[in-house]
């Protein structure tokens, strides 16, 4: 488990000619008792890895769908300790990498050293902290390295090429390409200029580049993966899980595996 597992899993898929699909879920949406079963369902549907959101009261990067999922989890009393405890007990039931997405406040309150120690014990492979600038990465870099957890950087559409080089050089596991200006959430259309942005990220990144924010249809998935290594889909996956539409989630995942656009 850990950073090496994440990197090797992704490289194995890419070496086979596959693109990567990472669904996002909010841990404890529906109660902590449904958490592991949701992970299993997404693995069975073909997820390359799963991003796990940690419920938080002030999610600055999250749009309405993910905010509501976080509120539902909080209403069930789900917290970081419960999520880690569930994984310590049942992580071996899940065969794909797990990446936490948490704001810095819950980690800081929990205790940074304690958090990374327990992440290792729980089989967490990577971590995204959207409100931690690269300049303050040293808050977490030492314990993350000690416990083998990849720290994943986000690069936005407004990042300069100099900044992209810096972020790409720091990112572990993969580089998260934010494809819209704004918060998360399903969109009807993909930014038509995103291809050039993704190509710049690919040129500078030593790790796979995955696009996220606003991706909600199989066509979006196909279009994005023309210029990067895979996608992250959150709001649409959460909506489909709420509606128990696993078939439609599988359609999204399958779009990275058989993409006719890649043959053009």
Read off φ and ψ for residue 105, nearest 5 degrees: -60, -50
- For the record, the structure tokens of 90 come out as 């049942």
Report the DSSP beta bridge partners of residue 150.
Answer: 126
Catalytic-role residue among 7, 13, 29, 62: 62
- Which pLDDT does position 58 carry in this prediction? 80
Nearest alpha carbon to residue 50 among 64, 60, 38, 66: 38
Give the fold, CATH level 3, of 3-256: TIM Barrel (3.20.20)
Catalytic status, residue 62: yes
Catalytic-role residue among 13, 29, 51, 86: 51
Q: Are 91 and 44 in contact (CB under 8 A)?
A: no
Residue 29's CB: how many other CB atoms inside 10 A? 26
Catalytic status, residue 51: yes
**Three-state DSSP class for 159?**
coil
Read off φ and ψ for residue 175, nearest 5 degrees: -105, 130
List, run by run, the mean pLDDT of 10-residue segments along the chain (264 residues).
96 95 96 97 98 90 88 96 98 98 96 98 98 95 98 94 96 94 48 83 97 93 95 96 96 86 60
- For the record, the structure tokens of 214 come out as 């606003």
Q: What is the pTM of this model?
A: 0.94
């Amino acid at each position: 488990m850990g950073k090496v597992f994440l990197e090797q899993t992704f490289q194995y898929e890419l070496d086979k000619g596959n693109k990567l699909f990472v669904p996002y879920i909010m841990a404890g949406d529906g109660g902590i008792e449904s958490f592991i079963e949701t992970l299993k369902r997404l693995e069975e549907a073909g997820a390359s890895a799963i991003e796990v959101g940690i419920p938080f009261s002030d999610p600055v990067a999250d749009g309405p769908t993910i905010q509501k999922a976080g509120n539902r989890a909080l209403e069930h009393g789900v917290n970081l300790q419960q999520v880690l405890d569930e994984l310590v007990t049942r992580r071996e039931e899940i065969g794909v990498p797990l990446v936490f997405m948490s704001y810095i406040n819950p980690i800081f309150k929990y205790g940074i050293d304690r958090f990374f120690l327990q992440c290792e014990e729980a089989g967490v492979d990577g971590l995204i902290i959207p409100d931690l600038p690269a300049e303050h990465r040293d808050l977490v870099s030492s314990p993350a390295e000690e416990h083998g957890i990849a720290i994943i950087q986000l690069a936005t559409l407004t990042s300069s090429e100099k900044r992209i080089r810096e972020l790409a050089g720091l990112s572990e596991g993969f580089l998260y390409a934010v494809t819209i200006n704004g918060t998360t959430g399903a969109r009807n259309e993909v930014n038509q200029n995103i291809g050039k942005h993704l190509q710049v990220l690919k040129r500078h990144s030593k790790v796979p580049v995955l696009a996220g924010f606003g991706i909600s249809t199989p066509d979006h998935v196909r279009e994005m993966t023309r210029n990067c290594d895979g996608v992250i889909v959150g709001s649409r996956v959460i909506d489909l899980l709420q509606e128990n539409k696993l078939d439609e989630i599988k359609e999204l995942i399958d779009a990275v595996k058989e993409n006719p656009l890649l043959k053009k």
